[in-house]
Amino acid sequence: MHESITIKDIAKALGFSTSTVSRALRDSHEISAETKRIVLEYAEKINYQPNPIALSLKERKSHSIGVVVCEVANNFFSQAISGIESIAYSRGYHVILSQTHESFEREIVNVNHLASRSVDGLLVSLSSGTINLDHFKKLHDKGLPIVFFDRIPKEINTHKVASNNFEGAFKATEHLINSGFKTIAHLANAAHLSISTERLAGYKAALEKHQLTFTEDLIKYCGHGGMVFEEVETAVKELLHLKNKPDAVLITSDRLSTCCLTILNHLGLSVPDDLAIAGFTNSNTAELFNPPLTTIRQPAFKIGQLATEKLISIIESKYPVTEFTTQLLDTEFSIRSSSVLSRKPALPDVF
Amino acid sequence: MHESITIKDIAKALGFSTSTVSRALRDSHEISAETKRIVLEYAEKINYQPNPIALSLKERKSHSIGVVVCEVANNFFSQAISGIESIAYSRGYHVILSQTHESFEREIVNVNHLASRSVDGLLVSLSSGTINLDHFKKLHDKGLPIVFFDRIPKEINTHKVASNNFEGAFKATEHLINSGFKTIAHLANAAHLSISTERLAGYKAALEKHQLTFTEDLIKYCGHGGMVFEEVETAVKELLHLKNKPDAVLITSDRLSTCCLTILNHLGLSVPDDLAIAGFTNSNTAELFNPPLTTIRQPAFKIGQLATEKLISIIESKYPVTEFTTQLLDTEFSIRSSSVLSRKPALPDVF
DNA sequence: TAAATTTATGCAATCGTTCCCGACGTTCTG
DNA sequence: CAGAACGTCGGGAACGATTGCATAAATTTA
């Protein structure tokens, strides 16, 4: 890739100046039709490609956006990234990927690495290890466009796109209640994440609406979100040994859902008879599970698309953007046998 | 992000020339210790960050690698990308993502877009729509480092990393034979992909070894690799209506495996009694399926890592690389109930 | 016909950095 | 003590493109 041709080569070959060539290629009005033709034909012939890095330097714009997620190999995030890529591609932006592995330090390093002017904007889903947002605030104050998605912070005023986690959890919990379950546990990701608090709130609201008392014991947090199997195993076992043993559990994370099902299968427990399950997951195969899993599915692809559109709108805005939105997208609730008792028919879900 | 500080600002503030500042920051031997101290302290104080784009222009190196895959939201590829990111990150490279959606045209556009000098090398898994490799050859001849992984071409001489598809298919087929199945169908991705031909060869070899005759009818190709459900549905139904109806099927693609199981469940057929299944998939939840799915799993993460290491080794090589390797990594075979008859005990797998 | 305008092009600065080369001053060598 | 050697530093040309300004020729206008 060293003998790459530049505008200078064209100028030299054709006897023009570089400015004339540049303008001809850009179809400037101040270049004669004849000159344009000559330049364009020659450029075409030798397959001239403008150097994007030189352009970036000049325009102070890299035409690329950085994506910061905890893990790529995850149903939700890979779908979201697919959405991000689709929009970015169509708008002429490159997508640069980085993973935090739920580590605060890694998030700081990645964000700064991306931000040190090689990226026009950032698309971020917070890591569970994030304990403060200074690294984002600093960049945001400097004027770097940032859009948060899925795991979003309250403290930073910018566009945010996420699922309607409250309603997703509310609906699923209400479904469990309507299906006849009385003691509903809650298995969650790291407690401080927006997805956790919002889903917990939805869960609580559903309990309250149906006059079920909320018990702290029934809430279990798994800080690693299912990445550490033992953590989930302990949590599930603790739930099962409770005096007020739950008959159902709402699981608010993808990996947690599958982990929990695995654990119950290993323990030889029957789902839903011993313990019913409804879980947040973006797996495409929940229907295939044994038993088929009742799921709350997030519109991951759409979330990625919307977040990217909003980011690019900030990037390309002529004037500073000060009005920001937080957009919540509805989740998709699918009732399957993991939450419907086989021995006694379930009550109708509407009532 | 406009008031970003440059080496010039430091020079002006400190009364040095830009060259001195640059050298001081680079810890050049021709700068006095005292000057270095002053410059470094000041740079630290005002949080100077070198402009990577200017560096790229100067060094003709972007410190980023382009990844071209058909689909991010896919178990195998998202795991592979995770491996790619892990190595790239540790070696100081950015990962730029693009998807072809199995389209030839899109592959050409993406590859050229990435290659037009904004990327130091390319990591490619071919799309199923790819009918010729001219776009890669052109770039490869120009000196752009390319490493292929998973779906690899024969015609281009460079590093390649993939699974040992032959052996994976061979083992699984032999397992089906040893489990007592006589008529083993083969459900595959687009016929011309390396993964398809290699897996087909493994399948044929196992049949041959066990004196089973190979029948063309029993091979069904799904050009969209399971992205188009109807295509798979048609293929499966055709298999089921064959005069020599298969009692087992080897499925050689991730999405195809789950699609097929879904279809069989929908048809009310019992797996493995009506039709046994063994499939290539990188799903983490095959164990949870109904029935648990016998799988051939590819070391996706490792493949991504190795491919990236090889790519970076070419990129950073002082002299032109002419010796290339094709590395095949072993697959992981997990026998589960989808391939083991419940009515009659299976024959031992060894023998 | 002189002046004003338009047309088509070149010059040179710019983006932020590196690095070759030259210019000092000091110290060492013979 | 002259010259070499060294240690420090600045000037300025790159890298590849864009663009404001100047300029020359051609054309129009008065």
Residues B177, A275: Cα–Cα separation, whole Å: 39
Residue ranges of chain A with per-residue pLDDT less than 50: 1-2, 345-346, 350-351
Domain covering A7-50 in this structure, CATH number: 1.10.260.40
Domain covering B62-162+300-330 in this structure, CATH number: 3.40.50.2300
What local confidence, expressed as pLDDT, does residue A346 receive?
A: 47
* Residue whose token pair is 């993502």: B97
Per-position DSSP letters for B16-49, written without gaps between them: --HHHHHHHHTT-TTS-HHHHHHHHHHHHHTT--
Quickly name the fold that domain A165-298+333-339 has. Answer: Rossmann fold (3.40.50)
The reply to whether residue A51 touches residue B117, judged by beta carbons under 8 angstroms, is yes
Residues A13, A351: Cα–Cα separation, whole Å: 81
CA distance A58 to chain B (A): 9
Measured between CB atoms, does B294 come within 8 Å of chain A? no
Per-position DSSP letters for A289-335, written without gaps between them: BSSPPEEEE--HHHHHHHHHHHHHHHHT-SS------EEEEPPEEE-
Residues of chain A found within 8 Å of residue B111, distances taken between Cβ atoms: none
Q: Do the Cβ atoms of B20 and B38 come closer than 8 Å?
A: no
**Which tokens sit at A44?**
């075409």
The reply to whether residue B96 touches residue A98, judged by beta carbons under 8 angstroms, is no
3-class DSSP state of A47? coil
Residues A299, A284: Cα–Cα separation, whole Å: 12
Q: Do the Cβ atoms of B49 and B24 come closer than 8 Å?
A: no
In b/e form, how buried is each residue of B10-49, taking b as 16+ CB within 10 angstroms?
Answer: bbeebebeeebbbbbbeeeeebeeeebebbeebbeeeebe
By C-alpha distance, the chain B residue nearest A82 is B72
Residues B79, A82: Cα–Cα separation, whole Å: 14
Helix-helix angle B75-90:A75-90, to 10 degrees = 80
Measured between CB atoms, does B52 come within 8 Å of chain A? yes
What are the residue ranges spanned by the domains of chain B?
7-50, 62-162+300-330, 165-298+333-339
The reply to whether residue B96 touches residue A99, judged by beta carbons under 8 angstroms, is no
User: Are B62-162+300-330 and B165-298+333-339 equal in CATH topology?
Assistant: yes
Å from the B42 CA to the C26 C1': 28
By C-alpha distance, the chain A residue nearest B100 is A86
Per-position DSSP letters for B97-122, written without gaps between them: EEE-TT-HHHHHHHHHHHHTTS-SEE
What local confidence, expressed as pLDDT, does residue B225 receive?
A: 85
Distance from the Cα of residue B51 to its chain's centroid: 32
Q: What is the nearest nucleotide to B35, using C1' and CA?
A: D8
By C-alpha distance, the chain A residue nearest B114 is A94
What is the pairing mode between strands B160-163 and B121-124? Answer: unpaired
Classify residue A95 by its DSSP letter: E
Q: How many CB atoms lie within 10 A of CB A105?
A: 10
A25 CB inside 7 Å of strand D: yes
Residue B103 buriedness (CB in 10 A; 0-12 / 13-18 / 19+): middle
What local confidence, expressed as pLDDT, does residue B346 receive?
A: 47
User: Which residues does B324 contact at the CB level (< 8 Å), separation at least 6?
Assistant: B157, B158, B159, B160
Residue ranges of chain B with per-residue pLDDT less than 70: 1-3, 342-351
**Which tokens sit at B8?**
């010039």
B55 CB inside 7 Å of strand D: no
Maximum Cα interatomic distance, chain A, rounded to a whole number of Å: 89
**Which tokens sit at A25?**
């290629």
What local confidence, expressed as pLDDT, does residue B344 receive?
A: 52
Most A CBs within 10 A among B5, B53, B319, hence the mutation to make, goes to: B53
Which bases of chain D are contacted by protein, using any atom under 7 A from a CB?
Answer: 7-20
Residues of chain B found within 8 Å of residue A259, distances taken between Cβ atoms: none
Å from the A59 CA to the C6 C1': 30
Measured between CB atoms, does B79 come within 8 Å of chain A? yes
Residues B245, B272: Cα–Cα separation, whole Å: 14
Quickly name the fold that domain A62-162+300-329 has. Answer: Rossmann fold (3.40.50)
User: What residues of chain B, 263 to 282, have a C-beta less than 8 Å from chain A?
Assistant: 265
Residues B257, B267: Cα–Cα separation, whole Å: 15
Point out the residue among A49, A114, A143 whose CB comes nearest to the CB of B116: A49
Residues of chain B found within 8 Å of residue A50, distances taken between Cβ atoms: 116
